[in-house]
Amino acid sequence: MVTAKSARVRQYLMCRPAYFTVEYAINPWMDTTTPVDTERAVDQWENLVSVLRGHGHTVHELRPEAGLPDMVFAANGGFVVDDAVYGAKFRFPQRQAEAAAHEKWYRDAEWTFTTPTETNEGEGDFAYVPGPGLILAGYGFRTDPRGHAEAGESLKRPVISLKLTDPRFYHLDTALTVLDDDTIAYYPHAFSLSSQAVLRQLFPDAVVADEADAMAFGLNTVSDDRHVYINTEATGMADKLAARGYEPIAVDLSELKKGGGSVKCCIAELRG
């Protein structure tokens, strides 16, 4: 019997893709020879915002800046747990100026902010599981594992380090998502064998995705404990979630996928 799910109202930070384009390639999804329709990307983003607000969630907006085309991927700019923010320090120079914009927003909003000394890409490589109070932290491509310890100290939570091994899933949020207080979904083969073993032990009831789910960005999702906002292409993953009692809400972000991101990449959760 599938247990009925209850949604919980959330607060999110997002950034309009006003300057979105693919001017450089820093992940396998980015192709500078593929045309990008910025106007369409904005329309798709606005629809996502409308869907979130339509389900009762609050969306705050970070002002986009010219010359920073990846600012739309707001999840990468910080990691928030219980009013405390561990800031980002981007690996690639093309994105490094984004960190200051995020820090200013959080400080202006009077969040408790820690400026990092270690390379990390915010919620791109950090996920919070509220039930056990655990931080799941990815490394292998972007975030330095030394940033895991720094995040744990900053946010006063235990951290589980997970090694990513497939460059297609360069951030943790492309290979793993938190569905509710105690449940995650993940694609095992994005991780090292030892990390797979850790995930099996910690989350024996996880929703296990296959390669097709992951390639369709079916793990780059946001959940409010009931509704799971998911890329329209990820129909197989949507079926898996529905079978577990969640309600998938399909959102088309095909234009933003050209930059290597989907729903989760666009959303930083503000856990106040």
CA–CA distance from 180 to each of 20, 29, 222 (Å)? Answer: 31, 28, 10
Known catalytic residue at 171: yes
Concatenate the DSSP letters of all residues of 231-254 into one string. ETT-HHHHHHHHHTT-EEEEE--T
- What the block records as the tokens of 176 is 């793993």
Known catalytic residue at 15: no
In 3D space, the residue among 39, 71, 46 whose CA is nearest the CA of residue 252 turns out to be 46
What is the Rg, in whole angstroms, of the alpha carbon atoms belonging to the chain? 17
- What the block records as the tokens of 53 is 């607000």
- What the block records as the tokens of 106 is 């959080």
What contacts 220, CB < 8 A, 6 or more positions away?
173, 174, 177, 231, 261, 262, 263, 264, 265
Given the residues 15, 57, 148, 265, select the one marked as catalytic.
Answer: 265
Given the residues 57, 171, 227, 266, select the one marked as catalytic.
Answer: 171
Could you list the active site residues? Answer: 171, 265
